[in-house]
Every structure is written in structure tokens, then in C-alpha cells.
Amino acid sequence: MSVISPAAFDSPRLLADIGGTYARFALEPGPGRFTHTASLPCADHADFHAAVSAYLRSLPPQALGGALEHAAVAIANPVEGDSVRMTNYHWQFSIEQMRQRLGLQTLVVVNDFTALAMALPRLAPGQRRQVGGGQAVERSVLGVLGAGTGLGVSGLIPAADGWVALGTEGGHTSFAPRDEREIAILRYALQRFDHVSFERLLSGPGLELIDAALRDRAGLPAEALPAPEITRRTLDGTDAICREAVDTFCAVLGTAAANLAVTLGALGGVYIGGGIVPRLGEYFDRSPFRARFEDKGRFSDYLRAIPTCVVTAENATFMGASAILGAQLQALQGSEGSALLGQIRRSREKLSPAERRVAEHVLAHPRAALSEPIAEIARAAAVSQPTVIRFCRSLGCEGLSDFKLRLASGLSATVPVTHTQVTGEDSMLELGVKVLGNTASAILQLREQLNRDTLGRAIDVLSAAQRIEFYAVGHYGVVADDAQFKFLRFGVPSAAITDTRLQLLSANVLRPTDVVVIISSSGRVDDLLAVAELARERGAAVIVITASHSPLAKKADVALIVDHVEDVATQLPMVSRILHLLVIDILAVGVAMRRSREGGVVLPALAPAASAGLDEARPELPPGAAAGAPAPAARRAGLGISAATPLALLTSHSR
């Protein structure tokens, strides 16, 4: 397998390898050269941005040699769309928001084993060690897997002059035992987990689970040894059970590797990475791994011909992430990278000299042009602002906002998420684009603020409620009305109260089985603070949707945070009400799903009625059934509440 030399580049790039325990960082000032490598414990940093910021602060001033423009992140979880949520850790972030917060032109985020797979063709002979026999077939499929905090699985398929990496979650395939010992381990694991995947055993926690199961099988007292200690005792030869655990781990890894080889047809070889196997060194070569890999019944000869190699390169994941970033940048610079950029290149000769200077600026700095105001673009291109507008219209765009929208779509397949000020000079189209863009930005920011534990507690409280009352005042009364409507639709006694006097009267008769949901943008309305205090005195649970660190948030049993500031002196609150409505939708979906799973009453959704009255839209009940009576199972299965679309928007925003 030949080593591929990466394309040259001029400025340092930031590379990151994020696992469930450590976040590794490096700078790549030149092709294949990694400097200022650092490994930071994830537990020492609140989120991904904090870890990146800590690394950048640790660099000497001369390390970057200017502004950081491009970065690639390999992370231990699936990457689909813009939202990243780690499987084995609590970090989560929006890729586009993170790019902006870090001031980058390009941020590529990929699965860590996709990155490792892309490194395989770039490995020198001294950066891999073959275990057992077999001979690779040139330009054939490669498989890669490795154990660390979890089990990563990927593959590499030859295509034209390059390679296509597979983003998979093969570590979560079901574990299949091969002997009595592994059957005993499976029984032990099933006492703790509903589903035992290969990752449950082929990981740091998995090695600990195997050791505990073997001690239980041998009738020995539990020791709860951490994985590094199990490995140390094995290599020292001081603990027979630890050695048996490591041998079992290696054998199970052989099964998983063989399954991957026959699934992918990986005649080019199967590569082993991750944090555990390389630390075993030559012990792994003598382990049951290769014998188990070849033990495939009728397909043993097939597997015997496939080589297995341990990746020994220290920076293999960085190599793959760099390759993916380089390919992305090359695509953006090429004529196929953006339809609009290609149009600009083709039309350059037809532009006036002044418009051509604008074109050159955009082609040289496409990402920067997305966020620069018209004055900055004009200054950088040494032209007037009307010239910038003429340049945009020469490309068939309505104006600068329309131009940026099309440019963003070509560059990253997403709308730029920044707040843009609406001005009196905007056309109606530009005004609409800005309003929608600002709303999209706020929604992505809300998604960044969501806390899964807090949402889970809120849904638990609401699911157990016998009655829910929604309190709001002023412009947010419509949110309370919407909440009442949604919860009544699946049979929960609910009321929306927006009059402050009625709120006090109603709160005064609350019971401990009731729940109050208070909706307030500022969290500083005296009337709502008083009703929250009264509700708690009556024993009712209090959920609030409000700003962080507000007086109302401090009075709540569960506080769902929505931090969005609008200038209510110049306009009615628009975006913040949408955000509060989306939170209500999330809660409604969560409660509906919970009640459906637990066999609760879920009434069917109302059919759309564009011009019909509410009575015409009301679902029909079976003959003789009273309102609120249990609906038939088939009718419950037809639940189609409108919250599903906003929930999808918040959880799987496409890049």
C-alpha cells in the first residue's frame, strides 16, 4: 500500500481528536507535520469550546503565525448534520455555531474512526505492525476497528483515484459468544444491560466488565479493577484472572474483526486502532486474536488470506482528519465547490474593473464574505458600496443578502447562523431573508442550551401530573394558549391562565398532584414570581421556561432556559416567542411519547382545517364514548401532533 502525500497548504491548521476521556489537539503547520500536541482531560472542561479555548491559550504567540482559519475535528460519535452529541460523554454543539465562535473559515467534524480509516493509505511501513499471516490485495476494501472509551468501526473503499470512508456505528452490533466462557460473560452482562453489543465488551469499561464476570464465574470476590490496572497486572504476570480477561478481550476482538472482514469483503486488510490494543504491544501478537479471526468455519480459508495489522502511528487520527480537511478545502477551491463561486469565475471577464475587484475578494475569502457587512466588503475590494450591490445583481441576485444566502448554500449546504440587523434600506426580500436567518440562528442557539437531564425531569413531572396549568402574561399569553391546546389533545386536563388575578385564585386551589408551567422571557415579572411562590406553598410542582439566572428560574423545581434578548421598545417580541413555543412542542412530544409507551390515553391529532371551525376539526369519538375516555389502540397509534416537525428541526438540523 503506497503512502499518499497530502497537498501543500500555507497556514497552520487545528486538528482535534475527541474521545470520551481525553481531547487531543495539534497544529499542522505543514503537510503531515504535527506540532504542539496536547492531551486534555475532558472532565476538566465544561464543553468542547472550553477545551479548544484552553488549548489555544496554551500555545506560544508565534505558533499560529496569524489568524487560525481551518480546523478538523475527529470525534467519538456519529456525525449527522449540524448537531453533534457525544455518545459516551455529555458534550454537544452545533458545527456552524462552533465555527463562528472560533472565528474559523472552515470547520470539518467527522467520526473519529472515519478519520482513522482515511489515515490507512497514508501509513508508512513503520507505522503499522502485522499480526499473523495474510497478504493484502492492492486497491481493495480496508476495515478498521479499535477499542478505547467505546468501540469504533469503519471501512475504506477505493474509488477512482481516492478513497471513500464509511461512517458506521458497527460497535453497537450484538455480541455473539463463541464458547462457554463467553456465554457466561454474556449472562453476567445481561443482568446489567438490556442489549449487549460488542462495544459493551470491547472498550475500557468492557474490559472491566469481562474481568468482573470472570471473577464472578470463578467464585472470587469482586475487585472492580479499572482497565489500566487489569492491563498492568496482565503484562506483569501477577494476576491470572486479569490475564484471562485480556485474552478473552482479544479473542472477542478477533470475532468482531472477522465479522467486519466478511461483511465488507476487506481483502486489503483489517486494521486495529484505538487506545487499548497498542498498549498491549507484543502481548497482543501472542493473544488469541488472530486464531479467533481465522476461526470462521467454512470461511476460515477466506479469512486466513486477509492480513490484520495494529496501527502504531501516534498521530494516525490527525493524519486522517487532515486528509479529510484537505479534500474539503480543495473541493471548495475547485469549480465544483460552489455553484455561485463557479459562476463568479466564469463571469469575471464580463465584469467591470470595479466589480471584478469584488469578485476577486469573494473568491479569495468566500467564508469571510458571508459575515462581512457591505462596508467591509467595499473597503476590502477598494470599491463603493453601490458597486458591491451591482456585482451581486450582475450574478442574478436580488441584493447582498440574497447573494450571501446562495453563497452559503454552495459552501456548506446550510444558511449562515448569524444575527443580521434589519435596516430601512432593505428590500422586502432582504428583510424576509434577515428575519428568517435571525430566527434560524436563535433556534440553533437554543439547541445549544438544551440540557437533556433537565428536559427529562420536566417530562417526568408533566407525565405524572393529574392537571397542568400554564401561566403567562402579555405577549407570551399565546404560548400558554398553545400549550393548553397541545396537552388537551392527548387527554391531559390543562388550562391556560393569562390574567394575573385569575392566576392567584387558581394557584390558591392547586393540589400536590398538579403542575404549573410558567412562561416568561425575562423571569422578573412580579406577578409571576408571586404565583410561583404560592404554587410551591400549595405543594404543586413548578416548571418555568425563562431566562437563566433570573429570579423566576431560582423559584422553579425545573427551569428550562431560553436566553434570547429582544428590544421590545422598538418591536413586539417575535423570535423569543417562537423559541418558547418550540420548548412547549418538545415537552408535548416527550409527554406524548412517554404516555404512549406506558399505555396512557393519547387522543388522535386534530385534522388540518384551513377554513373549518374548531368543531369540524374535533376528532370523532367512538359511539357512546365520553370525552377523555380511553381511545382504541389503533387510534392511539395514529398520534400525529404538530410538535414533531419542530423537534426534528432542533435535533437533526441538516448541514
pLDDT band at 409 (very low <50, low <70, confident <90, very high): low
Mean pLDDT value of segment 388-400:
82
Pick 69 or 252 by higher pLDDT.
252
For residue 613, the model assigns a pLDDT of 36
Are 505 and 581 within one domain? yes
User: Of 416, 447, 478, at which residue does a domain stop?
Assistant: 447
State what percent of residues in the chain have pLDDT above 70: 82
For residue 502, the model assigns a pLDDT of 95
Please report, for the domain that includes residue 466, its CATH number. 3.40.50.10490
Residue 84 is assigned to a structural domain of this protein = yes
Are 634 and 505 within one domain? yes
User: Of 312, 344, 369, at which residue does a domain stop?
Assistant: 312
pLDDT band at 333 (very low <50, low <70, confident <90, very high): low
Pick 490 or 295 by higher pLDDT.
295
Closest CA to 27 of 66, 61, 67, 71: 71
For residue 58, the model assigns a pLDDT of 93
Quote the CA–CA distance of 390 and 374 in Å, as a whole number. Answer: 12
pLDDT band at 427 (very low <50, low <70, confident <90, very high): low
pLDDT in tens, 93-135: 888 888 888 888 888 898 888 888 899 988 988 899 999 999 9
Are 347 and 435 within one domain? yes
On average, the pLDDT of the chain sits at: 82
Q: Angle at Cα 467 formed by Cα 466 and Cα 470, nearest 5°?
A: 150
pTM of the model: 0.53
Are 209 and 293 within one domain? yes
pLDDT in tens, 35-62: 999 999 999 999 999 999 999 999 998 8
Residue 491 is assigned to a structural domain of this protein = yes
Please report, for the domain that includes residue 396, its CATH number. 1.10.10.10
Q: Which set of grid coordinates corresponds to residue 601?
A: 390515553
Give the least confident one: 62-76, 134-148, 488-502: 62-76
For residue 423, the model assigns a pLDDT of 59
CB atoms within 10 A of CB 350: 9
Residue 321 is assigned to a structural domain of this protein = no
Residue 322 is assigned to a structural domain of this protein = no
pLDDT at residue 441 greater than cutoff 80:
no
For residue 258, the model assigns a pLDDT of 96
Residue linked to cell 398532584? 513
pLDDT at residue 304 greater than cutoff 50:
yes
Are 186 and 106 within one domain? no
User: Of 262, 282, 312, at which residue does a domain stop?
Assistant: 312
Are 407 and 538 within one domain? no
pLDDT in tens, 543-602: 999 987 789 988 999 999 887 766 554 455 678 889 999 999 999 999 988 877 776 544
Give the least confident one: 93-97, 241-245, 459-463, 553-557: 93-97
Residue 470 is assigned to a structural domain of this protein = yes
As for how many domains the chain has, the answer is 4
Are 425 and 469 within one domain? no
Residue 1 is assigned to a structural domain of this protein = no
Mean pLDDT value of segment 483-507:
93
Give the burial class of 138: count Cβ atoms within 10 A of its Cβ; 0-12 exposed, 13-18 middle, 19 or more buried: exposed
Please report, for the domain that includes residue 258, its CATH number. 3.40.367.20
pLDDT at residue 505 greater than cutoff 80:
yes
Mean pLDDT value of segment 151-163:
85
Are 598 and 487 within one domain? yes
pLDDT at residue 480 greater than cutoff 70:
yes
pLDDT band at 630 (very low <50, low <70, confident <90, very high): very low
Mean pLDDT value of segment 78-87:
77
Are 435 and 455 within one domain? no
For residue 411, the model assigns a pLDDT of 58
Pick 232 or 632 by higher pLDDT.
232
Mean pLDDT value of segment 529-556:
92
Residue linked to cell 450484538? 174
Residue 614 is assigned to a structural domain of this protein = no
State what percent of residues in the chain have pLDDT above 90: 49
Mean pLDDT value of segment 434-460:
77
pLDDT at residue 417 greater than cutoff 70:
no
Are 422 and 372 within one domain? yes
Closest CA to 504 of 464, 482, 473, 461: 473
pLDDT in tens, 253-291: 999 999 999 999 999 999 999 889 988 999 999 999 999
Please report, for the domain that includes residue 83, its CATH number. 3.30.420.40
Give the burial class of 623: count Cβ atoms within 10 A of its Cβ; 0-12 exposed, 13-18 middle, 19 or more buried: exposed
Pick 423 or 403 by higher pLDDT.
403
Mean pLDDT value of segment 239-244:
96
CB of 119 closer than 8 Å to CB of 82: no
For residue 114, the model assigns a pLDDT of 87
Residue 621 is assigned to a structural domain of this protein = no
CB of 507 closer than 8 Å to CB of 609: no
For residue 418, the model assigns a pLDDT of 42
Judging by DSSP bridges, how do beta strands 83-85 and 92-94 pair with one another?
A: antiparallel
For residue 63, the model assigns a pLDDT of 82
Mean pLDDT value of segment 76-105:
82
Domain carrying residue 102: 13-124
Closest CA to 314 of 127, 173, 35, 441: 127
Are 296 and 180 within one domain? yes
Are 291 and 152 within one domain? yes
Quote the CA–CA distance of 182 and 484 in Å, as a whole number. Answer: 53
Judging by DSSP bridges, how do beta strands 308-311 and 270-274 pair with one another?
A: parallel
